[in-house]
Amino acid sequence: MDSLCFSSFLSGSHSNFCVLRSSPASPVGSSRAFFYNRLNSKSFQKQIHFNHRCVGFYSLSCSATLSVTPEVEEKQAFDAEKANLLVKELRKSFNSGRTKSYEWRISQLESIAKMLEEKEKDITDALQKDLSKPAFEAFISEVSQVKSSCSEAIQELKHWMKPEKVKTSITTYPSSAEIVSEPLGVVLVISTWNFPFLLSMDPVIGAISAGNAVVLKPSEISPATSSLLANLLTEYLDNSAIRVVEGAVPETTALLEQKWDKILYTGSARVGRIVMSAAAKHLTPVILELGGKCPGVVDSNINLQVAARRIIGGKWACNAGQACISVDYIITKREFAPTLINALKVELEQCFGKNPMESKDMSRIVSPSHFGRLVKLLEEDKVSDKIVLGGQKDESKLKIAPTILLDVPDDSTVMQEEIFGPILPILTVDNLEESFDIIRSKPKPLAAYLFTNDEQLKKDYVQNISSGGMLINDTILHVATKGLPFGGVEESGMGSYHGKFSFDGFSHKKSVLYRSFDADSTIRYPPYTPQKEKLLKAVISGNIFQIILSLINGVV
């Protein structure tokens, strides 16, 4: 009897497993099957390797008998030393000045545009493997958004790079001034798994547009997309300035130990605190795109069919609710709740059929651990009897049907944590003004939604509810609107990006003042006399009469 030894990074620690190979009659037969299935599960299909271009995970295997012969040579792990070397290489490339030129930036953006055209199917296939994301949804929510960002950057780059002229005052006459956007240097982008292509490439486009060298760390929870990004960016982009590091907690930790010129992280508030703490050691600025419980307030004076479809579009058709801007819970009037629930039921059937568990138009839950977390939310004592629609689940398919809960207690876990799944609590109130207090009792969300035709309610909602972004009478589309920044506030994040805001987020706005050697007044130099003081005060106040009077009195 021999054994197969396997090492894998699991939750940031090195865990070793030994699987005994034996006949089915052996006492360990059932254990053999269990561990064999575990070895072939997605969570173990990682890679560990480091080379000049990217870092990944490979499984390691060996035959363990009295004489051990390794079948695959163990690859060197990506540690702090490797991360430091990587940053040094990229900083050398940045310091050469090559990434600062318009020609380099536009060439990289055009290469990304070419990549998006040539590899669209590969991208949608990877998203299907990671999330069972329908090809149509993958294109609309990820590929087309990256194409739009890239196209805008190509069209606007010269304008973005152009210095911004600033008026000067009489105190510096004769002079001119401008604001120059300069790249920060070497930046780190840590993306997440729910929109693994979009949330990787969108900030990378911004960092490249601004003229930086970039390291992208995709999420290991979406391994197919992570691997594809590593391969595509190696193939299409300048690897002397743009790299991909695959991996999990150890690799991310090694990267965070380094000195970066900016870090953009997308993910949970818990990890956001870790990223911010690591960045603080080097006084590195950060953009944090986090999340939170995004509310949707629904009035009764609306086109209910359209509103129901738009809520579905921002919840169940949006990666099965696994989105930081997904509608997390709804607040409506008590008497209107049954009507709203019935409308959602009708439109859900139109979207996903009578048996949504068989629908190919809704993504699956990303992993068994996230599936278990969501099931635990539904099975909590305070919640299990509040299900008014859905609730079906299939662990083998990692599927949970669109589920609606009615009036769950505020202290239940489903109302205390971001749901990040296909579960939608509906809370009822006597009047919609009460919804303001409910929303403000929770951390500020990344997005807030309102459905109403009441103009005063719209104004009150915009004025009194603080959130990263807001949309009236629809969901999620604000993040795809050109000219609007995307970012959070307080617990939901800090900083923003998208389009010009991405360029600005990865740039330093350097103020530059140009002066002539002419007209050098002695007013600013000692000795300081009462006449000089009068003239200075007159100049600062803009009092032309006092300026002339002071000049007549002999101050020059």
- Rounded to the nearest 10 degrees, the angle between the axes of helix 337-352 and helix 304-313 is 60
Instruction: Express the helix, strand and coil content of the chain in percent, nearest 5 each.
Output: 45, 20, 35
Cα–Cα distance between 39 and 35 in angstroms, integer?
6
Please pick, among 137, 289, 347, 418, the residue that the annotation labels catalytic: 289
DSSP per-residue codes, 50-70 = E-SSEEEE----EE-SSS-EE
CA–CA distances in Å: residue 527 to residues 519, 523, 532? 19, 9, 9
Is residue 186 within 8 Å of 261, Cβ to Cβ? yes
Catalytic, 89? Answer no
In terms of Cβ atoms closer than 10 Å to its own Cβ (0-12, 13-18, 19+), residue 459 is exposed
Is residue 312 within 8 Å of 347, Cβ to Cβ? yes
CA 271 to chain centroid, in Å, comes to 12
Cα–Cα distance between 296 and 473 in angstroms, integer?
10
Cα–Cα distance between 496 and 502 in angstroms, integer?
7
Instruction: Supply angle C-alpha 234, 238, 243, rounded to 5.
Output: 55
Catalytic, 294? Answer no
CA–CA distances in Å: residue 134 to residues 106, 124, 130? 32, 8, 11
Please pick, among 150, 294, 318, 324, the residue that the annotation labels catalytic: 324
Q: Name which of 229, 228, 220, 222 is nearest 253 in CA terms.
A: 220
Give the contacts of 60 (CB within 8 A, at least 6 positions apart). Answer: 5, 6, 7, 48, 72, 74
DSSP per-residue codes, 271-326 = HHHHHHHHHHTTT--EEEE-----EEEE-SSS-HHHHHHHHHHTTTTTGGG-STTS
Is residue 198 within 8 Å of 222, Cβ to Cβ? no
Cα–Cα distance between 205 and 217 in angstroms, integer?
14
The amino acid present at 154, given as its one-letter code, is: I
Cα–Cα distance between 377 and 396 in angstroms, integer?
19
User: Mind telling me the catalytic residues?
Assistant: 289, 324
